[in-house]
Amino acid sequence: MKKKIAVILILLSANIYSQIDISAGMGVSFVNQPSFTDYINYYYAPGDDQLPSFGSTVEFFGEVSFDVSDKYQLGLEYAHQIYSYSVNSYKAGFYEASYVHYKPSIMAYYVIPGVGYKLKLGGGIGPRFVSMEEQKANNPAKEEFSATGFGIVLKAMGHTLLSDNLYATIAGDIRYDMPGDLKDGDLKINNISLGESVNVNSLSVGLKLGISYFF
């Protein structure tokens, strides 16, 4: 009896393992972050070189997902967004700001399989973490701020067979992230002109390319 149970467990483990997809890649996201953009435009960006409503950022991603049925998958996605801005102008002299946005999400997908391809449509939710550095002309030291919140993502992924279990991957996503106000302890970045604290809450649209391996 014990031997039969052991064999069944081994077979089940092999079956689960064979259903794992691992993907990684990078791309560009077009981000609308109104609070942060208003802050930069009001205090630092020259009048003839204002930040647009949507700005481009680099974003990397990695994901592990597994089948729960023939048509559905669950997964864990990690996206890593990098943004930077610098200027040296008559308005405020030298200014530089950069941040990294960490975006882990639990994902659920509807899967459309085919010969040599797999299409996945779904979405997810998870915590959001931002780490930002800011340097102003009147302060040679960089100030560090952070924010913590949550976000949601809608995502479509297409996998096309390259060889054996290796696939080329293209993904498009729409994200709404709300990490909240940028803080250094109790100190916040304030936009006095609007009477509000500055955040990097954002709506973004992204396109990414990568590779996937199916076990």
Question: What local confidence, expressed as pLDDT, does residue 68 receive?
Answer: 93
Residue/partner pairs of 87-94 with CB below 8 Å, 24 or more apart: 87/44, 87/45, 87/46, 87/49, 89/44, 89/45, 89/46, 89/49, 90/46, 91/43, 91/44, 91/45, 91/46, 91/47, 92/43, 92/44, 92/136, 92/137, 93/136, 93/137, 93/138, 94/135, 94/136, 94/137
Neighbours of 202 (CB within 10 A): 27
Give me the mean pLDDT over the 145-151 stretch.
97
Most confident of 43-47, 86-90, 195-199: 195-199
Q: How far apart are CA 138 and CA 100, in angstroms?
A: 24
Considering only CA atoms, which of 186, 192, 176 is closest in space to residue 145?
186
Question: What local confidence, expressed as pLDDT, does residue 13 receive?
Answer: 43
**Mean model confidence pLDDT for the chain:** 90
Q: Is the pLDDT of residue 12 over 70?
A: no
Q: Is the pLDDT of residue 18 over 60?
A: no
Question: Contact 169/199 with Cβ under 8 angstroms?
Answer: no
Q: Is the pLDDT of residue 156 over 80?
A: yes
The structure's pTM equals 0.85
The residues spanned by each domain of the chain are 20-214
Give me the mean pLDDT over the 151-175 stretch.
96
Q: What share of the chain has pLDDT > 70, as a percent?
A: 91
* CATH number, domain 20-214, options 2.60.120.260, 1.10.150.170, 2.40.160.20, 3.40.50.11310: 2.40.160.20
Q: Is the pLDDT of residue 209 over 70?
A: yes
CB neighbour burial string for 86-102, b if at least 16 within 10 angstroms, e if fewer:
ebeeeeeeebbbebebb
Question: What local confidence, expressed as pLDDT, does residue 139 receive?
Answer: 79
Q: Is the pLDDT of residue 168 over 80?
A: yes
Q: How far apart are CA 173 and CA 157, in angstroms?
A: 9
Question: What local confidence, expressed as pLDDT, does residue 19 receive?
Answer: 80
